[in-house]
């Protein structure tokens, strides 16, 4: 996802409200009243994503066997679930502005971002399965 951000920000002309830098800035300000410099906020935001993203992947890997194959296709269930979670939880945690204030382009690029996460995660998990005897 880190490689996606410059393209996303370039398409928007600015970082979206759900950028890792903005989330880290708001989180520390809300929790401890600490204001981070942009560079420190970007680093903390990336660290948060590097913990959060794989944790979601591990959770999905555990739930994945219970999903029918059609639901796993292209990681759509994971991507959609992450997108819904982020649009509901982040404003409640006050780490983003409410989604109703986002532009249509910001909504679209978040959808692309989370669906890309789901697609990559599903591709990794599909390729990581041990071969079954006789297949």
Give pLDDT tens digits along the chain (135 positions). 568 889 999 999 999 999 999 999 999 999 999 999 999 999 999 999 889 888 988 999 999 999 988 888 889 999 999 999 999 999 999 999 999 999 999 999 999 999 999 999 999 988 855 555 554
Domain assignment of residue 132, yes or no: no
Domain assignment of residue 72, yes or no: yes
Domain assignment of residue 131, yes or no: no
Domain assignment of residue 134, yes or no: no
pLDDT value of residue 132: 52
State pTM to two decimals.
0.82
CA 83 to chain centre: 7
pLDDT value of residue 74: 86
* DSSP-derived secondary structure for 102-121: S-HHHHHHHHHHHHHHHHHH
The domain tally of the chain equals: 1
* Range of the structural domain that residue 60 is part of: 4-126
Residues 120/75, Cβ–Cβ less than 8 Å = yes
């Amino acid at each position: 996802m880190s490689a996606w951000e410059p393209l996303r920000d370039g398409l928007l002309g600015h970082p979206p409200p759900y950028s890792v830098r903005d989330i880290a800035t708001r989180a520390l300000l809300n929790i401890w009243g600490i204001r981070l410099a942009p560079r420190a906020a970007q680093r903390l935001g990336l660290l948060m994503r590097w913990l959060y993203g794989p944790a979601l992947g591990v959770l999905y890997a555990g739930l994945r066997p219970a999903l029918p194959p059609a639901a796993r296709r292209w990681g759509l269930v994971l991507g959609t679930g992450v997108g819904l979670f982020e649009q509901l939880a982040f404003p409640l945690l006050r780490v983003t502005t409410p989604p109703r204030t986002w532009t249509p382009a910001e909504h679209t690029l978040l959808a692309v971002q989370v669906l890309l996460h789901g697609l990559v995660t599903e591709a990794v998990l599909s390729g990581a399965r041990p071969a079954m005897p006789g297949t």
